[in-house]
Amino acid sequence: MAIHCGDLHEKIEINKYKSFSMLKSHAISKVVSRLFLFVFIVFVVILFLPWTQNLRVNGYMTTLYPEQKPQTINTIIGGKIAKWYVREGQLVRKGDTIVQITEVKDEYFDPNLLSRVKEQIDAKNQSITSYREKADALEKQIEALRNTRDLKLSQTKNYYQQSILKVQSDSIDFVAADINFKISKEQLLRFEDLYKQGLKSLTELEQRKLRFQDANAKFISAENKFRNSKNDMANANMEINSQLNQYNEKLAKAESDKWEALSNLYTAEAELSKLRIMFQNYETRSGLYFITAPQDGYITKSIKTGIGEIVKEGEEIVTIAPYDYQAAVEMYINPMDIPLIKSGQNVRIVFDGWPSIIFSGWPQLSIGTFAGKVISLDYYISENGKYRALIGPDPNAEPWPDVLRVGSGAIGMILLNDVPIWYETWRQLNGFPPDYYSKEEEKMEKVKKEANGDKNYLKSLK
């Protein structure tokens, strides 16, 4: 038999029993309905709140300038480690000694090597001076021989001219004597005819014969003089050639001695240059026994250790991290996200080990993040299949922590456009890319920034 609630309520006081009170049916209260309405309104409002689109990329700390990156200190020469002057983690200043090495090559063992090479240089200098003086003396000798040759040739040529004139004079005398001889001969023949005819006496004939003999003697004498003059002229001409050949031979020998001295001089100068280079190399090498710090920094790791260990030329000794550097973050962007990245774009960075609370869509509300800007973007893909982007601190925002170290990790949120939350939700559900199309003014501003480059940014950092 079924019992109705109304009948039960009349026979039993239900309020006295907890189990019966729980069976009582209730309607939806107004409070609950208002609560759901409020939540719905808040949800709708949130959907229209602005949301900053961003790209998350991983990276690590680096520096802006190549000289500020950690580097290894190498030994230029080979040697044996003799003494350490630093320890790992120590701060060193530029020029501080890090390690001392000693020689291992026998050609550099002599402790007086520099002084001995200096003695060779001095001796070679004296040799050069001697060769130079000899060349100068030979040059003076050559000049003297030329002057003497010219003087002798001038005298011989004058004598040759005189002999020519004497030949001419003797030739005239010879012609005159020849004519006189012929006339005397004709007269003698006529006198003989006249003497035969009885027209001339024997005495006159004999006198004519005497004249003929005298004319004949003069003719012979004039002929001898003429021939002697011609011989003297030929001898004078030969003397000119003889003296010219003689002095040319002396000059050639002097010139040969001079060029030999100059050749020795140039050889000595070349040897002197080699000795000076050798001395400079030895002197420079002696200054390389102490390896010094190239800049202010911290000794991070000793690659070579101990005393007496042999190191080769160019081998790494220790690594040093620069003391003063301009921090940056190196991040790698997927190729499909490259169109979203522009020079000067804002980035929020979270550093490893730095406490932070991140609201990816509201970077202004995030705690522990730091502002940065895209400095550069590689135009060539890296070996890992991504493009490298360099992020520097924003000079107009809070500075980055001083405790950051090169090589530590970082997470970057590259900030894009501001869109409503409902749009971002719809985009994520549909797998659409972020909006990177800007307004015309923003486009022009980005073009100007790219045209100007990062000069102003780097100046602000300095």
CATH label of the domain that carries residue 225:
1.10.287.620
Q: Are residues 206 and 355 in the same domain?
A: no
- Would residue 27 count as lying in a domain? yes
Percent of the residues in the chain that have a pLDDT greater than 90, as a whole number = 17
Report if residue 195 sits inside a domain.
yes
Inside any domain, residue 9: yes
Specify the higher pLDDT residue, 336 or 242: 242
Query: What pLDDT score does 382 carry?
Result: 84
Is 424 found in the same domain as 338? yes
Residues 268 and 159 in one domain: yes
> Comparing 174-178, 269-273, 353-357, which segment has the lowest mean pLDDT?
353-357
Contact yes or no for 89/300 (Cβ under 8 A)? yes
Mean pLDDT score of the chain: 78
Note whether 309 and 167 are same-domain residues. Answer: no
Phi-psi region of 325 (alpha: psi -120 to 50; beta: other; left: phi over 0): beta
Number of Cβ within 10 Å of residue 243's Cβ equals 17
43-82 residue pLDDT tens:
777 666 665 656 678 888 888 888 888 899 999 888 999 9
- pLDDT top residue among 336 and 131: 131
Residue ending a domain, choose from 321, 341, 371: 321
Q: Are residues 197 and 316 in the same domain?
A: no
Rounded mean pLDDT, 290-311: 89
Q: Which residue has the higher pLDDT, 50 or 133?
A: 133
Tell whether 293 and 282 lie within a shared domain: no
What's the confidence (pLDDT) of residue 275?
92
CATH number of the domain bearing residue 82 = 2.40.50.100
**Is 108 within a domain?**
no
pLDDT at 387: 86
**151 and 267: one domain?**
yes
Last residue of some domain: 268, 297, 321? Answer: 321
Mean pLDDT of 431-437: 53
Please tell me the predicted confidence (pLDDT) of residue 1: 44
CATH number of the domain residue 409 falls in: 2.40.30.170
Q: How large is the average pLDDT for residues 112-128?
A: 91
Domain boundary among 304, 321, 338: 321
Would residue 245 count as lying in a domain? yes
Q: Are residues 419 and 382 both part of a single domain?
A: yes
Q: Is 75 helix (H, G, I), strand (E, B) or coil?
A: coil
Q: Is residue 21 part of a domain?
A: yes
Q: Is the domain of 266 the same as that of 343?
A: no
| Residues of the domain holding 295 | 71-103+289-321
Q: What is the DSSP letter of 62?
A: E
Region 105-116: mean pLDDT is 86
Give yes or no: residues 197 and 225 share one domain: yes
Q: Which amino acid would we find at residue 269?
A: E
**Residue 440: its pLDDT value, please?**
42
pLDDT at 250: 87
Answer yes or no: do 404 and 341 share one domain.
yes
In a domain, 306, yes or no: yes
> In sequence order, which residues have a C-beta less than 8 Å from that of residue 343 and are 6 or more positions away?
374, 375, 376, 377, 446, 449, 450, 453, 454
Query: What is the number of structural domains in the chain?
Result: 4
Between these two residues, 169 and 417, which has the higher pLDDT value?
169
For residues 397-413, average pLDDT: 81
Q: Give a yes or no: residue 378 inside a domain.
A: yes
421-430 helix and 30-47 helix, angle to the nearest 10 degrees: 80
Judge if 64 and 83 occupy the same domain: no
Task: Name the burial class of residue 291, with classes exposed (0-12), middle (13-18) and buried (19+) by CB atoms within 10 angstroms of its CB.
Answer: buried
* Per-residue model confidence (pLDDT) at position 364: 56
